[in-house]
Amino acid sequence: MTRIIGVVSGKGGVGKTTLVSNLGASLAQQGFNVAIIDANLTGANLGLHYGLISYPISVHDVMKKNASLTDAIYKHPSGVDIIPASLSFEDVLDTPPVNIGQEIRTALSDKDYVLVDAATGLDRETLNAIDMCDEFILVTHPELPTISDALRTKSIISKYEKKLTGIVLNRVTKKDELKKDYIASFFKLPILGVIPEDPSIRRSIELKNPIVLQNPNHKISLEIRKIAGKVAGKEMKAGKSILDEVLESFSFVLFGSPSKKTKPSETPKQK
């Protein structure tokens, strides 16, 4: 069954879109069928992370009922299907947030994962994105004001009686910041991963290629791989590289591995 996972936060700029683009690619690298959707109607930019700059049909057209969701899917060579939102100001002005959860479930029923890049704050745009999803990953900086905003987002999700899978700490610098264990106990949620502040992220955005695709063995790519493993329910060591995965798959083919319950890694599928 397709898991529709919203990536949410309390504050903007914490790294939701960066996580959606990279987590989507990482899950695809691990052989899953993945789509990513930009539900940030007033601040769309998910497509840009993949170099998708000009596209005739967007989430806005789907919400305005001018197009079907299938028409808004753009296939990336990584295997990730991208459903971008419009960059046009006119579309922002004349598109009310509409719950397209049913369209997602129908048009993307072949997907293992649909990651939804949510808007920030607690207005209709964000609430609509929350309404469309089954479960959530909360992204935050490890600093008090951002944590306090994230806590409000957690409360809203509990009101919807939906599942919060865990927290990703991003842009971590280890300077005067709250500790991971403290944040985990404060939120009563697992920490899925800790991503450091690193200029390579900005470089990968400039290159319009998520870091997990551009440099799969970068420490951030390995950490995102670990997060993908946790989301998918398989524990992967942060230190495990693509090479380790490939070797493991070979040993699986040659010698078998009774403990391997999930899909072995495979090259991304291209349709």
Query: Applying CB under 6 A, which residues contact ligand ADP?
Result: 9, 12-18, 170-171, 195, 197-198, 201-202, 205
29 binds, among Mg ion, ligand ADP, none (CB under 5 to 8 A by kind): none
| Rounded to 5°, angle at Cα 126 from 165 and 182 | 40
170 binds Mg ion (CB under 5 A): no
Instruction: Round to whole Å and give the CA distance between 33 and 22.
Output: 14
140 binds Mg ion (CB under 5 A): no
Closer to ligand ADP at the Cβ: 44 or 107? 44
86 binds Mg ion (CB under 5 A): no
9 binds, among ligand ADP, Mg ion, none (CB under 5 to 8 A by kind): ligand ADP
Instruction: Round to whole Å and give the CA distance between 138 and 108.
Output: 23
18 binds Mg ion (CB under 5 A): no
Provide, for the chain, the percentages of residues in helix, strand and coil under a 3-state DSSP scheme, each rounded to the nearest 5.
Answer: 40, 15, 45
Closer to ligand ADP at the Cβ: 15 or 84? 15
Instruction: Round to whole Å and give the CA distance between 80 and 83.
Output: 10
- Beta strands at 34-38 and 74-75: parallel, antiparallel or unpaired: unpaired
- Region of residue 115 (phi > 0: left; psi between -120 and 50: alpha; otherwise: beta): beta
Shortest Cβ distance from residue 179 to Mg ion (Å)? 26
13 binds, among ligand ADP, Mg ion, none (CB under 5 to 8 A by kind): ligand ADP
Task: Out of 9, 17, 29, 153, name the contact with Mg ion by CB under 5 A.
Answer: 17
| Rounded to 5°, angle at Cα 233 from 112 and 197 | 95
Closest CA to 60 of 29, 21, 35, 88: 88
Closer to Mg ion at the Cβ: 49 or 225? 49
Closer to Mg ion at the Cβ: 16 or 230? 16
Shortest Cβ distance from residue 184 to Mg ion (Å)? 24
Closer to ligand ADP at the Cβ: 13 or 96? 13
15 binds, among Mg ion, ligand ADP, none (CB under 5 to 8 A by kind): ligand ADP
Closer to ligand ADP at the Cβ: 5 or 107? 5
Instruction: With beta carbons less than 8 A apart as the criterion, state whether 25 and 213 touch.
Output: yes
List, in sequence order, the alpha helices (H) in 171-262: 180-187, 199-206, 211-214, 219-231, 242-255
- Residues within the interface to Mg ion (CB under 5 A): 16-17
